[in-house]
Structure 1
Amino acid sequence: MLAPSHALLEGGVMDVPVISGTDTTQTTLSRSAKRRSRVRWGYSTVSWLGLAPFLVFCLLFEILPTLVILQSSFTDDQGTVTLANYQRILTQPSTLRAFQTSISLSLVSALISVVVGFIAAYGVYTMRTGWLRNLLIGFSSLAANFSGVPLAFAFVSTLGVTGFVTVLFKTWFHVNLYDLGFNLYNFWGLVLTYVYFELPLMLLITVPALSALRNVWREAATNLGASTFTYWRKVAFPILLPSLIAALMLLFANAFGAFATAYALAQGNINLVTILISFAVAGNVSVDVGLGNALAVGMILVLVISVSLYVFMLRRASTWQGR
């Protein structure tokens, strides 16, 4: 706002206009900045208060147990600091084979689940019948959480030596599946069992990721003369690749940490890290807590690598999903 000016009687020169509202404007801006800072600080405080129970939970049940396991892996039965536990892991063939078998089992089951699950997820995503799509997604949510001893018992009742499907094939077709080489209690039997609860999880992960594919991209590719195969090879698959790799890492971590299903089926016949840890810390003959903790630290390292790759690929995928 301009202040009224007047002429000097002697010099006849007009006074320079003075902006009288400058101080008021600066005061208003400072008050607005303080108000925004108070609102921002209040929002942050409320957010931290809401996040506090989760942070306490992570501290008590994730961070502290991990630190205890890490510290115990460097001590022996007398509490002396030592590297003998890790030396035994690197020198004993049984422990190295346990890691190899666990990684192979998790990777194979995850790869099968990614390939089959992606095809199933695309079919569910393009399904026009809404109630059937919701039914399949709901069933996948239940099947993805059906694991452990109940899942092992279900497979034994279905595909065991005297299981329903085994007896059915033998009665109707005079074919014994176990004479053909099938065995529920070996490596490939565990792969089949793991795929059961990983395939629905893959479907739940992939259906939202398919929403990143926009119809305009397909229309543009078609207008430029691209075939369906070319569209998937040069447009759709490169966009979905980070999501698929992230899903692979998540399924791998999920299978790598499984214990109850493998223990109930294999009964110790398959050398897995989780089963080896149970034998080390709760064995009937001897107890070796230090070795069990060292094996657990090895599992943590493998899971940290897989989860880190999962997070990295998830960020790449979020670029195309507009997040």
Structure 2
Amino acid sequence: MYRLIKPVFFRFDPEKVHHFVTDKLKWFNDYFPLGKTILRSSFDVHIKGLEREVFGIKFRNPVGLAAGFDKNGEYVEVLSNLGFGFIEVGTVTPLPQPGNDKPRMFRLTDNDALINRMGFNNKGVDILAERLRLLRENDADIVIGGNIGKNKNTPNEDAVSDYIKCFDRLFDVVDYFVVNVSSPNTPGLRELQEKGPLTAILNALQQRNGKNGITRPVLLKIAPDLTNEQLDDIIDIVKETGIAGVIATNTTIDRSKLSGTDKSTAEMGGLSGKPLTQRSTEVIRYLSDKSGRAFPIIGVGGIHSPEDAKEKLAAGASLIQLYTGFIYEGPELVKRICKALV
């Protein structure tokens, strides 16, 4: 079905199509008679052998949706009904911000890839927190991660306060947190991946974690462009700060794996999709082997098939996430992966 519709979708601007499709799916889920039942019966998979417990959270299956798809928590329920075992919302910032100028998302169809320079466009943490609060009142079974960042205009020396604001506001409505310091689309953000500033951010969050007897797992999302020496620093930081794990990886600024005649290869921004498959797996394997599997890893980057998913898990990932593969392969990909893992 999706293979028939995709060529039509791909004739239009990626960002406009994204909002069109997600809005229509939400309407179908919320208002069409038996809409939820139809989606669940078509895409959802409930098999006991798929259940995982990672950093103290039970996941009904190990296939999640990566951050960036649902920045404002508007589509959590319908996306869950498409079979995802967990949904990561955001990246969210303390204050609303429009993001970078449009166009800011580009398809590279010869490479099954995307380039985006969205720039943390979102409606702000207060809107997200209230939306998730209402969702929790109606359905507490969806595992939700909160991906948090800093506002573009916040200088790096004040970044800690932005992460704390998002952490405090979302604490009661998400199951885990992801600290995003690896997006290439906010000027200077990746400088926060250096050992000093990154340790300061994570320690500040960990000091606030568990104050009321409840702790939330805190994960760090890293770039695929780090050197082995920088990855060694990441391992040390995870152990020193006591955070729960790592998400590997974000998008890349490397263009060396691109081929074909795509017109958008020179566009600025983060590259995702198949050109990232190998490198993200290499990072997962390095972190897992070098640390002695000391912490869980969520593997993301270029998963377009069940074989790609199995490769990430074999490399050391405990869970996986989709984004670009979901766009290119359609919602059937989640079910195909789950069945293959059984």
Please state which band the TM-score falls in when normalised by the shorter chain: under 0.3
Q: Which has the higher helix share?
A: 1
> Which structure: larger Rg?
1
TM norm structure 1: 0.25
Q: Which protein, 1 or 2, shows the higher relative CO under an 8 Å CA cutoff with sep ≥ 6?
A: 1
Structure 1 or 2: more strand by fraction: 2
